[in-house]
Amino acid sequence: MKQWEVMRAYEEGAEIEVFYGYSNSWVAIDEPDWNWDKRTYRVKKEPKVIETWTGISGDIWECLRGSSRSKDFNNNPRYRLIGTREVSKDV
């Protein structure tokens, strides 16, 4: 994502993170100073959501929320969502 895209996303309400090299981590920042020469900024990444489904046979499936498989399960009364969990995109 280009610098102007990050700044526009901030103006539109997106959460921004700054990279701290000494801790090798991204940290949320409320009011970025946009010092691109010394800092790296990004739009905060949303975590992925893994859904766990069961079917009438008792089998268990996991899939990514929003995937075609998730949509198929959601539109089929033979399957039931039994749980969700978030996983980091950086992992």
Structure tokens at 39: 């800092």
Is residue 46 within 8 A of residue 36, CB to CB? The reply is no
Task: Summarize the confidence of residues 14-19 as an average pLDDT.
Answer: 96
pLDDT in tens, 54-81: 999 999 999 999 999 999 999 999 999 9
Distance between CA atoms of residues 21 and 10, nearest Å? 22
Distance between CA atoms of residues 39 and 79, nearest Å? 47
pLDDT value, residue 1:
86
pLDDT value, residue 89:
61
pLDDT in tens, 19-41: 998 889 999 999 999 999 999 99
Q: 61-90 burial, b if ≥16 CB within 10 A, otherwise e?
A: eebeeeeeebeebeeeeebeeeeeeeeeee
pLDDT value, residue 45:
86
